[in-house]
Amino acid sequence: MGIGLVVAAFLAFPRPAAEAAFDKDGWELLRVPAKPFLIKDLNGKKLQLEELRGKIVVLDFWATWCGPCLRELPELADWHERLKGRAEVAFLSCNATEERADVVAFATERGLPYPVYLADDLVEPYEIGAFPTKLVVDMRGKGDGVVRFRRDGYTEVRSIEAKIRELLEEGRQSGPLQSREDP
């Protein structure tokens, strides 16, 4: 194969994610606009991203067949309980790629204490290619919000909390939220 063909092939494909910036805990550091969405929980209750304005939103994309996703469930359930008194943070459990009836049966059997949203429509716009995947979206500024952090794979709650603390501290340093501009 000639060198010109190799260079042409290299330029034809997007650059690998390895060139993205990651922190020491494996979170990809981002500042990309959040894509507006409308999702439904297992009972059919609708939720739009804009309803979460003023919050830091953690989206957890998972599937029932995913081993690392299942390992996270007990810790996420405990965390959900601790979040009840925190108005500034929202946790959304987003199942993708599965039939509603299967997810309902799974959530009932496991006794999941939080709403589970059917999020197939978010897989492509948010480029979800692995489970579990966490996105941390800052909805405190103007506009539709900003995806600030992304992490694929098993993630401990302490790591999620560190990202939330980082954003809260950033907000305190920049002054009142009304005057803060999105990047």
- Residue 107 maps to a domain: yes
How many domains does the chain contain in total?
1
2 assigned to some structural domain = no
In a domain, 54, yes or no: yes
Cβ–Cβ < 8 Å for 92, 171: no
* CATH classification at residue 134: 3.40.30.10
Q: Indicate the DSSP class of residue 86.
A: -
- Statement: residue 167 has pLDDT above 90: yes
> Would you state the pLDDT for residue 175?
55
- Reference 126, options 118, 135, 117; nearest CA is 135
In a domain? residue 13? no
Average pLDDT, the chain: 87
Q: What is the mean pLDDT of residues 82-87?
A: 92
Q: For residue 7, is pLDDT > 70? A: no
Flag whether 90 is in a domain.
yes
- Over residues 88-103, the mean pLDDT reads 97
Domain membership of residue 89 (yes or no) is yes
108 in any annotated domain: yes
Average the pLDDT over 67-96 and give the result: 96
Spatial CB neighbours of 50, under 8 Å, sequence gap ≥ 6: 36, 144
Residue 16 is predicted with a pLDDT of 43
Amino acid at 81: E
Output the pTM of the full model.
Answer: 0.84
Give the angle subtended at the CA of 63 by the CAs of 70 and 139, to the nearest 5°: 100
For 84-123, b where at least 16 C-beta lie within 10 A, e where not — what string? eeeeebbbbbbbbbeeeeebeebbeeeebebbbbbbeebe
Residue 109 lies in a domain: yes
Omega prior to 132 cis, within 30 of 0: yes
Residue ranges making up the domain that contains 71: 26-174
